[in-house]
Chain A
Amino acid sequence: MTKILIVEDNEMNRDMLQRRLERKGYEVVCAVDGPQGIAMAASARPNLILMDVALGDLMDGWEATIAIRGNPATATIPVIALTAHALESDRLKSIEVGCADFETKPVSLPQLLEKIELHAR
C-alpha cells in the first residue's frame, strides 16, 4: 500500500486530506510542522510527501523540502508542494528546491491522485 506523509499545519485541512486519501486506499501519516515532517520522512519512510508551503513560523515547506533533499536517507522521496496561490513564481520556487510537482489548494482530488500515481515510488 502506498504510504503518504502529509505535512500540514492547519488541522482541518490535514484531517480532510487524510480522510479523502484514506478513502481512496492510501496509508496516510501526518506531521504538523516542518521539523516534525523532516523527522517523520526519515522514520516513517513514506512513498510520497504532500508538503504545505506555508507551515507557520518555525520553518516553511520549501525549507523543510531542502532539508529532506539534503538527507541521503530521504533524498529520493518525491515531494509534491501544496500552495494557496497558483503563481508561476511559487511553482518555479517549488521546482528549484527539489519538489517533484506542485498543486494548488483547495486541491482537486482527481488531479492530485494523478500526480500521486505518477510520482509515488
Chain B
Amino acid sequence: MEIVKSLPRGFSLSKLLDHFIPAEIQVNAESHRRARMFMLSHVFGPILGNTLPLYLFVMNISRDYRAAVFFFSILLFWAYPFALRKTSRYQLLAFLSVQNLIFCALWACYAYGGVSSPFLPWILIFPLLAFLYLPPQGMVRNVLLAQIFGSVFIFMALCFDGETLPYVDLDQLQVIGMISMASVAIYFAMMSLYFAKMFHEQREFAHELNALVSTSDNLRNLTAAANQASAAKADFVAGMSHELRTPLNAIIGYSQLLLEEARDEEDEETVTDLGHVHKAGSALLGLIDDILSYSRIEAGKMPLNPSYDMAHSHMDSWLRDLEPVLASRAFTVEVEGQRGLDLPLLTDWAAVGATVKHLIAGIVTQNHGGRIVVTLAPRGRGLQWTFTDHAPDGEARVVAISQEMFEHTGDMSASKYGGTGIEIALSYKYAQLLGGSIEAATLGDGHPVMRLFVPDRSPSQQLAA
C-alpha cells in the first residue's frame, strides 16, 4: 500500500491527488488543474462506475462475460494514476483514458440493448470529459472529435446493420436505466456548474485585468508627471545655482584680487579679513556645487563616462584636493591595499573621485583631529574601499550619519544637510549612480568603518552579473 505509506500526515483530498501528479506537471497551474481533475475522475470514478456491473451481477441480470468485460474495463481506470506517477506522460494517458471511457460506455450499450440501452446517455459525456482532460485546440481536439464520432458511428452501424446483439430483457434494466439517467443528469449538472463557474471567473478576471490596465495607465501618467516635476526641480536648482554662482564668483575673484594687492602692500590685517571672505565664499560655492550635483543625479541628468583605469592613478590627486579640509580639521589619511590600488576597473573615475572625496570630507567635517585609514581591496566584480575612522567620537558620528542618511534617503530635505553634512548624502548618491553601495559599520575593535563598493562596468562583468 504505497499510497497510504507515503501520504503525509493530515490527510486531504488535494494531497492524495497530488501524490500521483509528478512535480513537473504541478509547476504549471493550468496543467496542474487539469491533472487534478483527471486524478479525481480516476481515483473515485471506478468506485461509482462499478456499481453498475455489480448491480447487474447481484440482481442476476447478467452473470457472464458481458458484465466481466464491463467491470474490468471500468476497473482499468485505477491503473492511470499509477501510470502517470511512473511515466509523467499526462497527454498520452489522458488520451488513452478517453478511449477507455468510450469503450466502457459503448460496450455497455452494445451488450445491454443496443440503441435501446439504458447506458446510451453516457455517450453524451465523452466530449465533456475528453476536453476536461485535454486542451480543446489543435491536433488533439481534431483527433478526439474524430474518434468520439467515429466510435459512435461504428456502434450505430453495428446496431443497424443486422449485427446480432446479445440478448437482454429490457424490462429487467428499468431500474438501472433510471439510475443511469439520474447519474448522467447529476454529472451534467456538476459539469454545467463547473463550466459556469469557469465562465464567471473568466469574466471577473477580465474585469480585474481591465481595472489593472486602467490602474497601470494611471500609474504611468503619475510617473510621467513625477518625472516632469523632478526634471522641473532639477532645472530650477540648476538655474538657481547658476544665478548664485555668478555673483559668488565675483565675490571670490575680487577677494582674491584684493588679497593679492594686500599681500603686495604687506597689510596683514586686511589679508586676514579678506582670507575669511574668500574662505567663506569658497565654502558656499562648494555647497552650491554639491546641491547641484545631488539634484542632477536625482533627475538622471548626470551621465557617466566610464574608462579603464586604476585607483592608483587618481588617489594622490584626490588627496591633494582634500588637503585644505583635512588640514582645517587636523586629519590625516593613510592609503593601504596595493592589489586594490592596481586593480583595473571600467567605471567613471571622476564620479568615483567625487564619491571618495565627499565621503572623507563627510567623515572629517564633524570632528577635529584624527586619522582615516583607506583600504582598497578587490571584492567580487569590483573594488571595495574601507574607510576606518580612528578619530575620537568617530563611532557616534558614523552611527548618526548612518541613521540620518541611509535609513531616510528618501526623505533628505535641505534642512538635513545642516545636520550631518551634504557630503555623505552626495557620496551615497554618487555610489548609487555608479551602481555601487555604501554601508556603515563598527569593527570588532570599536573603530567605525564606512565601506564603498564600486562595481566593474565592463560588458563581460555585466553579463556575468
Distance A16 CA – B254 CA, assembled complex (angstroms):
6
Residue of B257, B261, B305 near A16 (CB, 8 A) is: B257
Which residues on B sit within 8 Å (CB–CB) of A71? Answer: none
Which of A36-44, A57-65, A82-90 is the interface stretch? Answer: A82-90
Answer whether residue A20 sits at the interface, using C-beta atoms and an 8 A cutoff. Answer: yes
Which residues on A sit within 8 Å (CB–CB) of B242? Answer: 54, 84
Which residues on B sit within 8 Å (CB–CB) of A20? Answer: 253, 256-257, 260
Contacting pair B253 A106 (CB below 8 A) = yes
Which residues on A sit within 8 Å (CB–CB) of B287? Answer: none
Contacting pair B254 A12 (CB below 8 A) = yes
Which residues on A sit within 8 Å (CB–CB) of B260? Answer: 20, 23, 109
Which residues on A sit within 8 Å (CB–CB) of B350? Answer: 88
Answer whether residue A76 sits at the interface, using C-beta atoms and an 8 A cutoff. Answer: no
Contacting pair A109 B256 (CB below 8 A) = yes
Which residues on A sit within 8 Å (CB–CB) of B245? Answer: 84, 105
Residue of A19, A85, A88, A109 near B292 (CB, 8 A) is: A85
Answer whether residue A17 sits at the interface, using C-beta atoms and an 8 A cutoff. Answer: yes
Answer whether residue B364 sits at the interface, using C-beta atoms and an 8 A cutoff. Answer: no
Contacting pair B257 A13 (CB below 8 A) = no
Nearest-neighbour CB distance to chain B for A67, whole angstroms, equals 25
Distance A109 CA – B257 CA, assembled complex (angstroms):
10
Distance A16 CA – B250 CA, assembled complex (angstroms):
7
Distance A23 CA – B258 CA, assembled complex (angstroms):
11
Distance A27 CA – B247 CA, assembled complex (angstroms):
26
Whether A105 touches B249, Cβ cut-off 8 Å, given contacts A84-B242, A88-B305, A89-B303, is: yes
For window 225-261 of B, CB contacts with A under 8 Å fall at 242, 245-250, 252-254, 256-257, 260-261
Contacting pair A17 B246 (CB below 8 A) = no
Contacting pair B249 A106 (CB below 8 A) = yes
Which residues on B sit within 8 Å (CB–CB) of A84? Answer: 242, 245, 249
Distance A88 CA – B253 CA, assembled complex (angstroms):
24
- Residue numbers of B with Cβ under 8 A of A are 242, 245-250, 252-254, 256-257, 260-261, 285, 289, 292, 303, 305, 348, 350
- Chain A to chain B contacts (Cβ below 8 Å), 28 pairs: A10-B246, A12-B247, A12-B254, A13-B250, A16-B250, A16-B253, A16-B254, A16-B257, A17-B253, A19-B257, A20-B256, A20-B257, A23-B257, A23-B260, A54-B242, A84-B245, A84-B249, A85-B292, A88-B305, A88-B348, A89-B303, A105-B245, A105-B249, A106-B252, A106-B285, A107-B253, A109-B256, A109-B260
